[in-house]
Amino acid sequence: MKHCFTNDERASCAKASPWQSTTRLVRYPFLGMLAVIVKGTGMKPYAFGLAAFALLAQASGEDAAASARAQLGRLLFFDATLSEPAGQSCASCHDPAAAFTDPDRTRPTSKGVHRERFGNRNAPSAMYMAFSPAFHFDKAERHYVGGQFWDGRATTLEEQAKGPFLNPVEMANPNKRAVVEKVRRADYAGQFDSSFGQGFSTTPTAPTTPSPPPLPPLSARRSSSPLRRSTTPGCRARQR
């Protein structure tokens, strides 16, 4: 639910994240309640103005921090240099113009950066997935709900976001260090320091255990490959 008043705020709210919209929903009614209290207690108008300004300044600072991190997330989401080789971004399989799903409607499963490799499930929509609850059995609905990916194997969106970078049939990076080093070379690397504290763009990453060699083309794989998970009814095929 979004709560806006002026035309300018409607435009701002339309661009806001659900978190930002929620802060607005709380903020303005609170100011109205504060005005009623001020009128009842006889507080001077300038005192009310200072109190309101302090509240809005704090909220604006929180919005600015959230907006900076959201912009950083947007840059990561559309960065096609974070795959191995370059050419595949998160948006490649979660296109905003296609409701954050795979825009390629001609294939039953999504393809990765290596065009001859396909997973065995199609990319699910990433829209509103930050609000997905932890994977669990809902007794009222009498089926499993929540989680990330089609099978709910990732508990949070943060956990889910790590998977495609290292998946050999998606972005195909050999290990975590390779991903971090690519981000450090990006033009936006300094934004991590301003958003999360100094050190990200300069601190070297610890060596990691090499990943297994990449998978062969799909035609060379056996049907018993461990990546080929069985799917439940209602799920489209892919290992996402």
Give me the pLDDT at residue 208, please: 53
Considering all CA atoms of the chain, what is the largest pairwise distance in Å, rounded to the nearest integer?
81
Please indicate, yes or no, if residue 181 is contained in any of the structural domains.
Answer: no
Of the candidates 172, 63, 43, the one whose C-alpha atom is nearest the C-alpha of residue 117 is 172
Q: Does one domain contain both 110 and 222?
A: yes
Please indicate, yes or no, if residue 197 is contained in any of the structural domains.
Answer: no
Q: Does one domain contain both 36 and 119?
A: no
Q: Does one domain contain both 72 and 95?
A: no
Token pair belonging to 196: 């999360």
Give me the pLDDT at residue 38, please: 47
Helix ranges restricted to H, the chain:
7-15, 18-41, 45-78, 90-93, 157-166, 176-185, 189-196
Last residue of a domain, one of 43, 77, 111: 77
* Cα gap 170→227, rounded to integer Å: 12
In order of 9, 77, 172, 223, the CA distances from 95 in angstroms are 27, 10, 19, 30
Please indicate, yes or no, if residue 45 is contained in any of the structural domains.
Answer: yes
Sign of the torsion angle spanned by Cα atoms 4, 9, 12, 16? negative
Determine how many CB atoms are found less than 10 A away from the CB of residue 5: 10
Q: Does one domain contain both 68 and 161?
A: no
Q: Does one domain contain both 16 and 134?
A: no
Contact of 48 with 12, CB cutoff 8 Å? no
Contact of 236 with 119, CB cutoff 8 Å? no
Which residue segment(s) compose the domain that 25 sits in?
A: 7-77
In order of 22, 120, 216, the CA distances from 220 in angstroms are 51, 15, 6
Last residue of a domain, one of 55, 77, 99: 77
* pLDDT, tens digit, 9 for 90 and up, residues 51-68: 555 555 555 666 777 788
Which region, left, alpha or beta, applies to residue 100 given φ > 0 means left and ψ of -120 to 50 means alpha? left
Contact of 24 with 4, CB cutoff 8 Å? yes
Which residue stretches of the chain have pLDDT < 70?
A: 1-62, 201-240
Give me the pLDDT at residue 34, please: 46
Domain count, the chain: 2
Last residue of a domain, one of 27, 52, 77: 77
* Cα gap 92→77, rounded to integer Å: 9
